[in-house]
């Protein structure tokens, strides 16, 4: 058993915030939710003449959308952080299992931006070289 297998296989209790964030994220990502939101905006707009397009009428939509947007920023960020961490762990596992892979690249997400730029340039150079070699190989066989 690996050192973290007990975490993966236990009947773990996910934190309340994580459960709420996953549920809200899942619910808000559905087409029906989008159309409900559009419907609410249409109802609000149609109700404008009834309320004389007054300040309170405008304040309702402004306040509602601001609060919802503010809260959704945290929900979306939480979901993205978890997804990114999970994907990073999966990629690290693949790198570890690949023979000849450079394990020093496992923690790239912890490096400074400048270091990432240097490594990215190296990979771009390698890609360009590989394309040139492929082009040379294709032109020689034609």
Q: Percentage of the chain surpassing pLDDT 90?
A: 58
What is residue 60's predicted lDDT score, i.e. its pLDDT?
A: 94
Q: Based on the fold, state whether residues 74 and 15 are members of the same structural domain.
A: yes
* Domain of 15, in residue numbers: 5-105
- Residues 86 and 72 sit within 8 Å (Cβ to Cβ): no
Based on the fold, state whether residues 30 and 80 are members of the same structural domain.
yes
Average confidence (pLDDT) over 29-47: 96
Residues 32 and 101 in one domain: yes
End-to-end, the C-alpha distance of the chain in Å comes to 55
Domains held by the chain: number = 2
pLDDT of residue 5: 66
Predicted confidence (pLDDT) per residue in 7-21, tens digit: 665 556 778 888 899
Q: Which residue has the tokens 């690249």?
A: 105
pLDDT at res. 62: 96
How confident is the model at residue 142, as a pLDDT? 52
Looking at the structure, tell me whether residues 123 and 76 fall in a common domain.
Answer: no
Q: What is the DSSP letter of 11?
A: -
């Amino acid at each position: 058993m690996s050192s973290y297998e007990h975490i993966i296989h236990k009947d773990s209790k996910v934190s309340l915030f994580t459960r709420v964030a996953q549920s809200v994220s899942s619910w808000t990502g559905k087409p029906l939710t989008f159309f409900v939101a559009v419907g609410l905006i249409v109802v609000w707009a149609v109700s404008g003449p009834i309320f004389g397009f007054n300040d309170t009428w405008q304040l309702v939509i402004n306040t509602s959308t601001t609060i919802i947007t503010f809260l959704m920023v945290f929900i979306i960020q939480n979901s993205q952080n978890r997804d990114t961490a999970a994907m990073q762990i999966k990629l690290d596992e693949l790198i570890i299992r690949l023979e000849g892979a450079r394990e020093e690249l496992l923690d790239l997400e912890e490096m400074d931006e400048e270091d990432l730029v240097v490594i990215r340039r190296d990979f771009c150079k390698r890609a360009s070289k590989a394309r040139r070699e492929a082009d040379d190989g294709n032109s020689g066989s034609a």
